[in-house]
Chain A
Amino acid sequence: MTAEATDPVIATSNLTKIYGKTTAVEDVSFEVHPNEIFALVGPNGAGKTTTVEILECLRTPTSGVARVLGYDVSKESRAIKQRIGVVPQSFHTFDRLTVRENVTLARQMYETGSDPDEVLTQLDLSEYADTRFANLSGGYQRRTGIAMALVSDPDVLFLDEPTTGLDPAARRSTWEEIERLTEFGTTVVLTTHYMEEVEELADRAALLVDGEIVAVDAVANLVETYGGDVKLVVSPADDHCAEIEASLRDVATDVYQDDTGNLVGIFDDRYAAQEAFGQVLDIEGEHSIELTGAGMEDVFLQLAGGTVGRSGDLQ
């Protein structure tokens, strides 16, 4: 049975995966809606990859149900694989084939899809079309992976740790590509341990800790619910202290002066803080302004009792 347009693209119910004595994923339930970017967030070993690999029909769940595009992952993998695109963690393909040859091969694995050269153009890979995969930088290798996943015009694209190991410029470029995908009606499911990536890209997110989902909601809701206060710390220039304090009080729930003389505004959410930020900028003088708190880092700290380092480990 296939999905209706309004049905969730992905729906899991009490999904569990056990390896020997280790429970990798336990009772995971969530839904992904059409045309959204959904993030599975968590530290290394949280069960993100296991969860997406079950959805990609690469792993068999021990128990529970998972449906992708209305198809059961355990019984209808052929139908699912025909309509999904996958960029695995540590993506790799044939080293000695060129980018075009690899993307063409990927296209030939599907019944329908786009012209490989069009996809290369779309992802700014035309310049490297005749370069062998092994000779590409990490960023372009990852981009080739995305091209290979997109060439079949998938309804759902799975990106497992899409920017791990990339330099900041390549990461930013990859984010832009992912954001563009939703313009073509593609639903994106990504796993990541970078909180800024979730804030930047995801519409909704599920936080996984030790194989269990501790929260799933729109990113803005998660931040609002679990993120705590947002602080705007202003070091006023010249004699504008009173003017800035008044401006902050218009929006903040509380304003005080700390030991160093800085003005600190407390806000309910990031949007209120950003409004105050704009007002302070309009006040004459060169003020030092710092916006802190209430991001996914705070959400994670609140729900998991720790932060996730750059390496992906829980600290």
Chain B
Amino acid sequence: MTRIWPLLVALSKDWLRNREAVFFAFLFPVILLLIFSAVFGAGPSQFTLYVQNNDLGSDGSATNLSTSFVDALEEVSALQIHSIESGRNITEWSRQRGSAGAARVVVIPDGFTDQVRAGSRQARRSVILDTLSRAGNQINQTNQARIRQRANTTINGTNATGPAEISFLSASDDQAAPAIRGVLSSVLARFNLNAMGVETPPTTIVSEDLGRQNLDGVDYYLPALIAAVVMINGLITLPALLAELKGDGTFKRLTATPLRKRDWILANVLQQSVLALLITGMMVGVAHLAFGVTVIPGPLASGLILLGAITFTGFGMVLGSLVDGSDAATSLGMAIALPMMFVSGVFWELDMMPEYLQTVATLTPIYHFHHGLRQLMVLDTTHGVIVPFAILGIGALIALVLAVRVTQWRDL
């Protein structure tokens, strides 16, 4: 065990003097942080939506009702509305704009106003007749007949054959289309209530942040980025470094000394774990200074980061022992780390993925790693973090045992 410390110091010095390794080890997390901050830190996302209003009055201008519908769409902060001139062929318009962003179009049909009015009268008649039938025993027959007649006259002269149909056109591969369709349905529901004369809906939604208040998108992504960087450092960077030491004969010379295999593994795992903590500290510092991020890892989160670092560097030792050549080691690390990173929900919500992939995600250590960090750093709760601690603890143990088993100390 006394050989671990001098080896740890030597490995650290050798690494810290490697300008390229240091530059990329610290630059990569900063680049990730900047990209995610730029994408998610500048307020909520907006979807572009084109509107073609074909409901024109006799003077050729848009009718009041169709205009108020477009106004209702423009009030939705998640939508950025652009108009298409009425009467234009949408297929041709779509072809002409080529690949300039997703083409999502709402078409308000000619006669929209008439259909809405007729539909609203019919709806009102239904409400009156329904109310009459429910309260019939409290109104005498004469009055009932009068009300029924008045209700029927409201729909006289209308040619409504059904509800007004607004078309929503989108590409079949547009991932955002379902979300926009949901927004449109919500706007239409409100519009329909207004058409019925209901100004204040009986039910509304009040949104509040869970956990810490007033957090930006960067705050939510920081735990995930920390988990991703720790994993990449362990599974991609470390195996390449080990393969380099194996390739140039440094490792072989060490095996000819009384150094024990377990001491070599522990020294590497400790060195890389300390490095992971340093990189995490740097990421938090940059995020705080540049983007005002307020989620700082506390003792428990730091402990989880250390445990994650030990787990992934342990598995990195295993990978580094399995292959020769730093290129092969990097490729193997990437083949394992990248799919795991994308499947685990580090960069997007699991709800967006198919159910079977969500199940797969829960089987990966990175999922539990960033989930635990999010609980501790963003939601400010220790509830359920025993699971990430247990899984990473067991993972670290398995990784270290495996590393001892597969690292060859003879017959290299």
A contact set with B: CB distance below 8 Å = 56-60, 77-78, 81-82, 84, 86, 88, 90-97, 101, 104-106, 108-111, 132, 145, 148, 152
B412 within 8 A of A: yes
Ranked 7 nearest A-B pairs via Cβ:
A96-B17, A86-B256, A108-B6, A109-B257, A92-B249, A92-B248, A94-B14
Residue of A59, A60, A82, A94 near B258 (CB, 8 A) is A82
Contact check, B258 vs A88: say whether CB atoms are below 8 A apart. no
- Report the minimum CB–CB distance from A98 to chain B (whole Å): 9
B96 within 8 A of A: no
When distances are taken between beta carbons in the complex, the residues of chain A under 8 Å from B258 are: 78, 81-82, 109-111
Q: Given that A81-B258, A108-B3, A110-B257 are contacting pairs, would A97 and B249 also be in contact in the complex, using a CB cutoff of 8 Å?
A: no
Whose C-beta in chain B lies nearest to the C-beta of A105?
A: B10
Alpha-carbon separation in the docked complex, A88 to B249 (Å): 8
- Report the minimum CB–CB distance from A71 to chain B (whole Å): 13
When distances are taken between beta carbons in the complex, the residues of chain B under 8 Å from A96 are: 13-14, 17-18
Contact check, A86 vs B17: say whether CB atoms are below 8 A apart. no
- Report the minimum CB–CB distance from A188 to chain B (whole Å): 16
Contact check, A92 vs B410: say whether CB atoms are below 8 A apart. no
Contact check, A90 vs B10: say whether CB atoms are below 8 A apart. no
Number of B interface residues in the complex (CB < 8 A): 22
- Report the minimum CB–CB distance from A160 to chain B (whole Å): 10
Contact check, A86 vs B253: say whether CB atoms are below 8 A apart. yes
Contact check, A58 vs B257: say whether CB atoms are below 8 A apart. no
Alpha-carbon separation in the docked complex, A86 to B254 (Å): 10
When distances are taken between beta carbons in the complex, the residues of chain A under 8 Å from B257 are: 81, 86, 106, 109-110, 152
When distances are taken between beta carbons in the complex, the residues of chain A under 8 Å from B7 are: 105, 108
Instruction: Indicate the member of A57, A94, A95 with the most B CB atoms within 10 Å.
Output: A94
Alpha-carbon separation in the docked complex, A95 to B16 (Å): 12
Task: Given contact pairs A93-B250, A96-B13, A109-B257, enumerate 17 new A-B contacts (beta carbons under 8 Å).
Answer: A56-B256, A58-B256, A58-B410, A81-B256, A81-B258, A86-B253, A88-B249, A94-B250, A97-B10, A101-B13, A106-B257, A108-B6, A108-B7, A109-B6, A109-B254, A109-B259, A152-B257
Residue of B13, B14, B253 near A88 (CB, 8 A) is B253
Task: Write the B239-275 contact mask toward A (1 if CB under 8 angstroms, else 0).
Answer: 0000000001110111111110000000000000000
When distances are taken between beta carbons in the complex, the residues of chain B under 8 Å from A60 are: 410-411
Q: Given that A91-B253, A93-B253, A101-B10 are contacting pairs, would A59 and B248 also be in contact in the complex, using a CB cutoff of 8 Å?
A: no
Whose C-beta in chain A lies nearest to the C-beta of B5?
A: A108
Q: Offer 11 A-B interface pairs, CB within 8 angstroms, sorted by A.
A: A57-B410, A58-B410, A58-B411, A81-B256, A92-B248, A94-B13, A97-B10, A105-B7, A105-B10, A109-B6, A110-B257
When distances are taken between beta carbons in the complex, the residues of chain A under 8 Å from B249 are: 88, 90-92
Alpha-carbon separation in the docked complex, A94 to B256 (Å): 15
When distances are taken between beta carbons in the complex, the residues of chain A under 8 Å from B412 are: 58
When distances are taken between beta carbons in the complex, the residues of chain B under 8 Å from A81 are: 256-258
Whose C-beta in chain B lies nearest to the C-beta of A152?
A: B257
When distances are taken between beta carbons in the complex, the residues of chain B under 8 Å from A94 are: 10, 13-14, 250
Alpha-carbon separation in the docked complex, A88 to B246 (Å): 13
Task: Write the B369-412 contact mask toward A (1 if CB under 8 angstroms, else 0).
Answer: 00000000000000000000000000000000000000000111
Alpha-carbon separation in the docked complex, A104 to B10 (Å): 10
Q: Given that A59-B410, A108-B3 are contacting pairs, would A88 and B10 also be in contact in the complex, using a CB cutoff of 8 Å?
A: no
- Report the minimum CB–CB distance from A60 to chain B (whole Å): 6
Alpha-carbon separation in the docked complex, A105 to B255 (Å): 13
Contact check, B6 vs A97: say whether CB atoms are below 8 A apart. no
Whose C-beta in chain A lies nearest to the C-beta of B257?
A: A109
Alpha-carbon separation in the docked complex, A69 to B344 (Å): 56
When distances are taken between beta carbons in the complex, the residues of chain B under 8 Å from A145 are: 253
Whose C-beta in chain A lies nearest to the C-beta of B254?
A: A109
Alpha-carbon separation in the docked complex, A109 to B258 (Å): 6
Contact check, A97 vs B14: say whether CB atoms are below 8 A apart. yes
Instruction: Indicate the member of B10, B14, B248, B256 with the most A CB atoms within 10 Å.
Output: B256
When distances are taken between beta carbons in the complex, the residues of chain B under 8 Å from A104 are: 6
Alpha-carbon separation in the docked complex, A93 to B258 (Å): 16
Alpha-carbon separation in the docked complex, A94 to B10 (Å): 8
Alpha-carbon separation in the docked complex, A152 to B258 (Å): 11
Whose C-beta in chain A lies nearest to the C-beta of B16?
A: A96
- Report the minimum CB–CB distance from B46 to chain A (whole Å): 49
When distances are taken between beta carbons in the complex, the residues of chain A under 8 Å from B259 are: 109
When distances are taken between beta carbons in the complex, the residues of chain B under 8 Å from A59 are: 410-411
- Report the minimum CB–CB distance from A69 to chain B (whole Å): 14
Alpha-carbon separation in the docked complex, A56 to B409 (Å): 12
Contact check, B253 vs A95: say whether CB atoms are below 8 A apart. no
- Report the minimum CB–CB distance from A207 to chain B (whole Å): 25
When distances are taken between beta carbons in the complex, the residues of chain B under 8 Å from A77 are: 410
Alpha-carbon separation in the docked complex, A108 to B3 (Å): 7
Alpha-carbon separation in the docked complex, A81 to B258 (Å): 5
Whose C-beta in chain A lies nearest to the C-beta of B6?
A: A108
- Report the minimum CB–CB distance from B63 to chain A (whole Å): 76
Task: Write the B103-121 contact mask toward A (1 if CB under 8 angstroms, else 0).
Answer: 0000000000000000000
- Report the minimum CB–CB distance from B388 to chain A (whole Å): 36
Alpha-carbon separation in the docked complex, A111 to B6 (Å): 13
Whose C-beta in chain B lies nearest to the C-beta of A78?
A: B258
Task: Write the B1-26 contact mask toward A (1 if CB under 8 angstroms, else 0).
Answer: 00100110010011001100000000
Contact check, A92 vs B253: say whether CB atoms are below 8 A apart. yes
Interface residues of B in 260-307 (CB under 8 A from A): none
Whose C-beta in chain B lies nearest to the C-beta of A79?
A: B258
- Report the minimum CB–CB distance from A127 to chain B (whole Å): 21
